[in-house]
Amino acid sequence: MKTIFISGGNQGLGRALAEKFAGEHNVVILARNEDKGRQAAEEVGCDLVVADVSDYTQIQAAVDSVIQKYGAIDCLINNAGLWIQGALEDNDPEQVSAAMNVNATATILLTRACLPYMKKAQKGRIINVISQSGFYGKGERSVYTASKWAIAGFTKSLQMELTGTAVTVCGFYPGSMKTEFFANAGVEKDSSKFMELSEVVRAVEFIVDTPDHLSIPELGIKPAYY
């Protein structure tokens, strides 16, 4: 039984992953909103830690609490994300900062907090949920793409940094899924051809279940129509 720590685990892909792994593993979700996080944790049957992902002190305290209860974090899934689109000059500076903080900085800081424990345990798998936007640029989503390219670069560099250790890092690049991701940002999208969450969950499950001595540097999944 592994201990799996999932950021953004109260909705969307994060919640679907928590539902998949709960019961089979120790699952802890990290959420910013305590009420929504508590509801999700109760419905899924997993643990919850609450933290503002822009505050490293809170992040470290959240990680420490997981270690205190379970002794280790076997798999960290950096899943929290925030959508932003539109011409750059139309993007509100606060929205830009929020997107970069949630999509990039939070992933880096959460990884930083977990990494010493993984190194000490001589095992651990880090899965950074990036996006197909981490592969290419597209007009009117420059900020979102920048945040994803940041984590793509972070992932590749951290893989090199951890060479020779028992900690592996995977960049996971999913395409559009049938979640509330866009709706939460007030954006309407035709989701008829988007992937089902169950399809994406199976891909992540493959990474999680891969033997500890093997590494999957990156894995992408997307609808065949694009």
Reduced 3-state DSSP string for 131-183? CHHHCCCCCCCHHHHHHHHHHHHHHHHHHHHCCCCCEEEEEEEECCECCCCCH
Give yes or no: 144 in active site.
Answer: yes
Residue type, 189: K
In angstroms, the CA 145 to CA 167 distance is: 27
Q: Which residues of 24-59 are buried (b: 16+ CB within 10 A; e: fewer)?
A: ebbbbbbbbeeeebeebbeebebbbbbbebeebebb
Residue from 144, 173, 225, 226 carrying the catalytic annotation: 144
CB neighbours of residue 94 within 10 Å = 8
Structure tokens at 50: 């609450």
Indicate which residues carry an active-site annotation: 144
